[in-house]
Amino acid sequence: MIRLKPYRVLKDATNDWVTKLNFSALQEYGKKHQPIQVLVLYGSLRERSFSRLLAFEFARILDHLGADVRVFNPEGLPMKDGVSENHPKVQELRELSQWSHAHVWVSPEQHGQITAVFKNQIDWIPLALGSVRPTQGRTLAIAQVCGGSQSFNAVNTLRILGRWMRMFTIPNQSSVPKAWTEFDDNDRMKPSDLRQRVVDVAEELFKMTIVLRPEMEFLTDRFSEREEKEKNGRLLSQAEKLK
């Protein structure tokens, strides 16, 4: 399980700032519900990837709140093509998406956009798998890291992708400028207003998921899909619709 929860491996466990966050009331509220299941995606394969470091901080905060958090490692995921659907990494990503109630997406901004590494992961999560919608109705939090001054190009694109994937993207978001200055030698985020924003975003995702999850089936019940089920007995796959 540590493969899916690498954020729990700390270089210095004696000074974990996340465990000092006062979420007692929210944690008690969360205990009244089934733990939310969160998938975290990041968009870089660098040895010291700041999108991965930020993704891990999100994971630690949500874990501290009581969520079951799993992080997908994009290393080894093939480029999107028409022949690799049975690749183990593709199957792992799709299974994690179906398992989840919520996602956290963290991408670097490169040349004014999200990275190919990140977009490739989204491309492997189709809008439909047969009659199953792998992301429909999930809540989503978005964040980006910047190598220079603060920008919002990547999060704007992530918000568009979330809408396209039929997800409920929370209003708050995080953009970390000069990310290389915001993490210490133990790969932990330094105290700052930027770190406070990360906590705010994670907390908002946690709350929104608890509120929306029980109503997911109701919120995603579409007239057109009810009509399709009545006509065909089930939802058709995209391939069947194209015949």
HEC string for the chain: CCCCCHHHCCCCHHHCHHHHCCCHHHHHHHHCCCCCEEEEEECCCCCCCHHHHHHHHHHHHHHHHCCEEEECCCCCCCCCCCCCCCCHHHHHHHHHHHHCCEEEEEEECECCECCHHHHHHHHCCCCCECCECCCCCCEEEEEEECCCCCCCHHHHHHHHHHHHCCCEECCCCEEECCHHHCECCCCCECCCHHHHHHHHHHHHHHHHHHHHHHHHHHHCCCHHHHHHHHHHCCCCCHHHHCC
Task: Give the residue carrying structure tokens 């929210």.
Answer: 26
Q: List Cβ neighbours of 131 (8 Å cut-off, separation of 6 or more).
A: 234, 235, 236, 237
pLDDT of residue 113: 96
* pLDDT, tens only, 186-205: 999 999 999 999 999 999 99
- Of the chain, the end-to-end C-alpha distance in Å amounts to 42
What is d(CA 142, CA 151) in angstroms, rounded to the nearest whole number? Answer: 13
Query: What CA–CA distances, in Å, run from 98 to 31, 126, 203?
Result: 23, 11, 22
pLDDT of residue 129: 65
What is d(CA 1, CA 19) in angstroms, rounded to the nearest whole number? Answer: 21
Each residue's pLDDT expressed in tens, for the chain with a length of 243 residues? 678 899 999 999 888 999 999 998 888 888 888 899 999 999 999 999 999 999 999 999 999 999 999 999 999 999 999 889 999 999 999 999 999 999 999 999 999 999 999 999 999 998 776 556 779 899 999 999 999 989 999 999 999 999 999 999 999 999 999 999 999 999 999 999 999 999 999 999 999 999 999 888 888 888 888 888 888 888 777 667 777
Question: Which pTM does this prediction carry?
Answer: 0.92
69 φ, ψ to 5°? Answer: -115, 130
In the chain, domain spans: 17-240
Instruction: Give the tokens for residue 225.
Output: 């899909």
Q: For domain 17-240, which CATH number applies: 2.60.120.380, 3.65.10.10, 3.40.50.720, 3.40.50.360?
A: 3.40.50.360
